[in-house]
Amino acid sequence: MLEIEDLCVEVAGKSVLDGVTLHLPPGELHVLLGPNGSGKSSLLASILGLPPYRITRGAIRLDGVPLTDLPLHERARLGIGMAFQRPPGLDGVSVSAFAEALGAGETLAREAAALDLTDFVRRDMNVGFSGGEIKRWEILKLFLQDPRLMLFDEPESGVDLEHVIAIGQAIRRMVRSPDRQDRPRAGLVITHTGLILRHVAADCAHIVRDGRLIHSGDPQTLFTHIQTHGYSVPDAA
């Protein structure tokens, strides 16, 4: 599904990713762990094609299709979607109008209830939403967009414990189910707190440090290791 090979990325003249290789098979959910400023969000932004991240070496492929020269809108058309950490408010674009434009009215009714957002459907997207409400809406937005490759930037940060369960279950439901064309999905989740790990049944975790992917392994084992030893390579700890 997603293949990242030897990826090097610069932003504002500074190297933020240095030789990252990561393979995400169809149907799987992987987790990115790492200290602040290590390059996790830069990796998601580079997959989606957000400016100002500049790929200087390496490749990103979705089902064998090279992405590195494609603009953001073409990557979105190929089926890449992201739940953003700090999305802007969109005055004049209501949640229900957005869903209708995507032909996803039924999905909105069903998933808004699951994410406790039923009362939000007439409101403008992210306008006046609290921090936790934004996080839930970003998950619901992905249900409406129906991407194949789902990127989640800290989906549970600032979310109360009850809604972390709803978000985790929604992520699991989305990633484990096929898209509307019956194709398998895959997901990549950034987490600091690890709370989401209890609910998403991740297949693999990767530690990113100083722009490098330094270790991959079982998510719960790596998270327990980090809580005790920090973001070191487990074998060397």
Ligand X SMILES: Nc1ncnc2c1ncn2[C@@H]1O[C@H](COP(=O)(O)OP(=O)(O)OP(=O)(O)O)[C@@H](O)[C@H]1O
Question: What is the binding site for ligand X (CB under 6 A)?
Answer: 11-12, 16, 34, 36-42, 52
Residue at 57: amino acid letter: R
Nearer to ligand X, 43 or 164 (CB): 43
Nearer to ligand X, 104 or 207 (CB): 207
26 and 1 Cβ atoms separated by less than 8 Å: yes
Instruction: Give the CB-side neighbour count of residue 113, counting CA atoms within 13 A.
Output: 5
Nearer to ligand X, 144 or 151 (CB): 151
User: Nearest approach, Cβ of 84 to ligand X (angstroms)?
Assistant: 12
Nearer to ligand X, 46 or 120 (CB): 46
User: Nearest approach, Cβ of 237 to ligand X (angstroms)?
Assistant: 21
User: Nearest approach, Cβ of 127 to ligand X (angstroms)?
Assistant: 24
Nearer to ligand X, 60 or 144 (CB): 60
First CA to last CA distance, the chain:
32
User: Nearest approach, Cβ of 37 to ligand X (angstroms)?
Assistant: 4
How many of the other CB atoms lie within 10 Å of CB of 151? 25
User: Nearest approach, Cβ of 41 to ligand X (angstroms)?
Assistant: 3
Q: What ranges make up the beta strands (E) of the chain?
A: 2-11, 14-24, 29-33, 54-62, 65-66, 80-83, 149-153, 186-190, 204-209, 212-217
For residue 124, the 8-state DSSP code is B
